Structure 1
Amino acid sequence: KLVACTQPRRVAAVSVANRVADEMDGRFFLFLWFDWTCSNSTIQLGRHVGYLIRFEDMAELGTTFLKYMTDGMLLRQAMNDPSLERYSAIILDEPHGRTLANILMGLLRGVAKRRSDLKIIVMSATLDAVKLEILQPTFRRLSPTLQSRTHPVEVFYMQEPEPDCVEAAIRAVLVLTTHRAEDEGDDLLFLTGEEEIEDA
């Protein structure tokens, strides 16, 4: 049986599947919840790790063990297979703020009542655990707390509106970088998309 992992967007499903296939070097890998061992072979995208998005199913029947997909694709599969029998585990990754993910959580609650063997994992770094009460008492909630250090953050604002905000942000980071010592920290600039990141 497969493991499904939902992603909010098609681009995320494809890129995460690519990344996971690259990260799993294939020398030795074992999934604990079903009998599948890959030893001394290469993990391949579309063969062992796959993805399912609208108009594209990059997975091999009988060989793929981990399949990334959008919420909508898992919902579509649930219409044809209400118990989602092909899956041994379903991971909802970052479900907050997504209407389809909320529908999926309700649907999976019903599936879990029919299938005690199905593992359902809801992962979120920011989702309030109280919001997951819809899943109780069907699911057991584990809320690990990670100890981490917070770093001081300084926010700077431009004095005048800028016609090209990306260029202005890059200039600002360069100015900040040149006016501080090398060991004083790092700068993080959030940009709007891949093209802007490449241009920077």
Structure 2
Amino acid sequence: MDPYAQVNTMLQVLQLNADYTPMKVTSWERAVEMLLDGTAISVEDVADRYIRSERLVLPWPAVIALRKYRNVRSRVRFNARAVLARDQHTCQYCGWAPSFPDGRPDRGELTLDHVVPRAQARQGKVYLYWARKWVNTTSWENAITACKRCNQYKANRTPQQANMTLRALPRLPTQADILRMSLARLRRLPTGWETYLPRVVLLAPEAAAGTAEG
């Protein structure tokens, strides 16, 4: 591992719940605060790395766990970057997942697409024909990741009108999605984290939620 990448991953700490299920990625500063005030314990440390001050020497935390179980919030603020992370930075029409040579997703080739376009909205809401309900035009249930080419081709049409098929229906993020969004900010996964991360987080979610066909 190059020195820059090592320092970058050390700045982030994986936070587990009291039952050792992963919750989120937090900063090393916040992790140290939680260790010192007793709300968390250290589970994994970075080898041969220490945080030093005049009064203490503390192993650099890599993974921490809460002492008391905490109910997890399953909501996340809606934004384009979060939609891309939910969809694994993959076009939900053609399946293209653009990336740089080092494996990082190339977000510049991706866009947020309104499945039912804004041009067809009525008073800020659109009708989801596959779910048979009205939702806000810009919402988790009407937004997906699309490459620029597919978005341009679809234009102001629904997938049905454009004779396009969605690989998976847009949906509210699951807890696994939320954790995946935190991990997406890292240049690489720190050593040792895999032990505590379920495969559903490490792998792309399957398009088992259904499809919307033209």
With normalisation by structure 1, the TM-score equals 0.20
Higher strand proportion (structure 1 or 2) = 2
Which structure has the larger Rg? 1
Q: Which has the higher contact order (CA 8 A, sep 6+)?
A: 2
With normalisation by structure 2, the TM-score equals 0.19
Higher helix proportion (structure 1 or 2) = 1
